[in-house]
């Protein structure tokens, strides 16, 4: 029973990077080449990408993809986007304007800064009107 996708080596490199170290500095610390640090970091990012995609798949298992909210969108524009998309496919969304924004804030705390979405966010909806942000 192993834990996450990332190997010890990969977590080690990501931690040092987060601290602002260069690949060369990390290479010196863990006693290898900077090229190696680069590939380790790269495969770590790839694993993270795959982890995200895996959970996306879970949503799609009992939801349908509603729309993509583009990075840069104003948070307060989002509810009307979602409501109109949901209307197109005859789904009654379970949230009102306020609670929808709160739902987004809670489930994707990192996806916005101030009033602005800072990355693309996928929106999924179930037949019952439950909304997931993937």
Partner DNA sequence: TTGAAGTTAAAGAAAAGTGTTTAAATTCAA
Partner DNA sequence: TTGAATTTAAACACTTTTCTTTAACTTCAA
Q: Which is nearer to DNA, 16 or 133 (CB)?
A: 16
* Residues 108, 73 contacting (CB under 8 angstroms): no
Residue 73 binds to DNA (criterion: CB under 7 A): no
Q: Quick one: 117 exposed, middle or buried, by C-beta within 10 A (0-12, 13-18, 19+)?
A: buried
Stretch that binds DNA, among 22-30, 55-63, 97-105, 122-130 (CB under 7 A): 22-30
Quick one: which of 24, 32, 39, 54 contacts a copy of itself (CB under 8 A)? 54
Residue 81 binds to a copy of itself (criterion: CB under 8 A): no
What is the spatial distance between Cα 99 and Cα 37, in angstroms, rounded to a whole number? 44
Q: Which is nearer to DNA, 42 or 88 (CB)?
A: 42
Is the sign of the CA dihedral 26, 30, 33, 37 positive or negative? negative
Quick one: which of 15, 29, 32, 80 contacts DNA (CB under 7 A)? 32
Min. distance of Cβ 119 from DNA in angstroms? 19
Q: Quick one: 35 exposed, middle or buried, by C-beta within 10 A (0-12, 13-18, 19+)?
A: exposed
Residue 111 binds to DNA (criterion: CB under 7 A): no
Residue 40 binds to DNA (criterion: CB under 7 A): yes
Residue 46 binds to DNA (criterion: CB under 7 A): yes
Query: Which SS3 state, helix, strand or coil, does residue 95 take?
Result: coil
């Amino acid at each position: 029973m192993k834990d996450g996708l990332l190997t010890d080596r990969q977590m080690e490199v990501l931690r040092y990077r987060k601290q602002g170290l260069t690949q060369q500095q990390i290479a010196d610390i863990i006693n290898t080449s900077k090229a190696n640090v680069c590939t380790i970091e790269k495969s770590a990012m790839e694993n993270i990408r795959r982890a995200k995609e895996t959970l996306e798949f879970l949503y799609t298992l009992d939801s349908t993809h509603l729309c993509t909210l583009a990075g840069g969108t104003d948070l307060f524009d989002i509810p009307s986007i979602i409501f109109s998309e949901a209307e197109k496919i005859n789904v009654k969304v379970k949230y009102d304007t306020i609670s929808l924004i709160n739902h987004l804030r809670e489930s994707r705390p990192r996806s916005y800064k101030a009033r602005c979405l800072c990355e693309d966010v996928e929106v999924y909806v179930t037949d019952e009107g439950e909304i997931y942000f993937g």
